[in-house]
Homo-oligomer: A and B are copies of this chain.
Amino acid sequence: MSSATLPPEPRNQVDDPSSLVARFGASEPLLMDSGGSIGPWQIGYQTYGKLNADKSNAVLICHALTGDQHVANVSPLTGKPGWWSTMVGPGKPVDTNRFFVICANVIGGCMGTTGPASTNPATGQPYAVDFPVVTIRDMVRAQAALIDRLGIESLFCVIGGSMGGMQVLQWAVSYPDRVFAALPIAAAARHSAQNIAFHEVGRQAVMADPDWRGGRYLVEGTRPSKGLAVARMGAHITYLSEIALHRKFGRNYQDRSAPTFSFDADFQIESYLRYQGLSFVERFDANSYLYVTRAMDYFDLAAEHGGSLAKAFRGSKTRFCVISFTSDWLFPTSDSRAIVHALNAAAASVGFVEVESDKGHDAFLLDEPEMFAAAQGFIDAAARARGIA
């Protein structure tokens, strides 16, 4: 990246020193579903625990839309605990005393893996919208290259929620022999029309911001912060349930008991959403938001197999556990049931747990004892089956 063209404080450095980085040269390009390719490219990742002698205890965690590789360590960017430190760590369901845990930033992201903010070797400037459009399969292909580089033949388990769960499913379909167990949570085998619609509104909000500059904001020294904040605010509503919003905020006024009759953040819910928007733009690249949402939109696992999800899983020896949440209206239980039905039709091994929760889609990131218990039980049984101590 040419330093002369950088804005004063680039927050999304592709060489974040706090992450491990696997680099792939121009001779090892990443070939992508769109027909495009990138190279050289790199993948930023974190690991926890130790790989055992027969390399049978590796667990891959796949992150969601705005997640990163800092699943169980304090984020160097935000100073906050790892985004899934309730699930991953010593003595946790994904026990780092037993397992070698890997989490990598996705292709198209902005946390150490090559994405639209990275330098395009053809121009010496950020790719911006010249970056090839990314798919979930491209994300998984990049992770597979990392797993190869780490010398791991077969993953013990692949785990993720939301977009992470899409990657779990894609892993099981693209590399059935490399996935012993798979745990997709609050996920779907295809993105729904409603979810595409919400994503499109978010992208339009970003692209409507004149500071987006046709995607070239890094070179032009601007940031489409207002548009990205609006996108995040809208998306955030979909991550919560109506009940959770009512319980947390209701119609409570901010700092007073009566309305101010203004367009200020009069209600607590408004103040909360504005904060969500503002804090998000501090940590996330706007073009990455476009690319990663687009990857989810294009996800349709059955489409690769003549429209049959069961065909996608045919012959799979992977053990699956599918988890959904009762109040998740973004990735409703019916989406998880469709996965389970397809796995049943393919005669695959599958368990299904619908967790009673009123916290909406974000429940997978929160303290949900029933989810932890289900994950723990599934992982422990699978570990016994694989002979992991």
Contacts and interface: CB of A to CB of B under 8 A. Distances in A.
A192 interface: yes
Contacts of A22: none
Given A196-B270, A273-B197, A273-B201, A208 B209 contact: yes
A40 interface: no
A27 interface: no
Interface stretch (A5-13, A62-70, A98-106, A222-230): A222-230
Given A200-B233, A261-B35, A294-B263, A193 B250 contact: yes
Contacts of A190: 251
A300 interface: yes
A193 B274 contact: no
Contact of A196 (B201, B227, B267, B298): B267
A261 B33 CA distance: 9
A141 interface: no
Contacts of A267: 193, 196, 200, 297
A165 interface: no
Nearest to A247: B193
Contact of A208 (B34, B230, B245, B250): B230
Interface string A281-300: 00000000010001001101
A350 interface: no
Interface of A is mostly: helix
Contacts of A34: 261
Q: How large is the interface on A (under 10, 10 to 19, 20 to 34, 35 or more residues)?
A: 35 or more
Contacts of A242: 192-194, 329
Count of chain copies: 2
A306 interface: no
A366 interface: no
A379 B297 CA distance: 46
Contacts of A261: 33-36, 132-133, 298
A259 B205 CA distance: 22
B208 A226 contact: yes
A92 interface: no
Given A227-B208, A261-B35, A298-B259, A193 B245 contact: yes
Interface of A: 33-36, 129, 132-133, 190-194, 196-198, 200-201, 203-205, 207-210, 226-227, 229-230, 233-234, 237, 242, 245-246, 248-251, 259, 261-263, 265-267, 269-270, 273-274, 277, 290, 294, 297-298, 300, 303, 329
Q: Which 7 pairs show the lowest CB-CB distances between chains A and B?
A: A34-B261, A208-B226, A133-B261, A193-B245, A194-B242, A201-B234, A200-B270
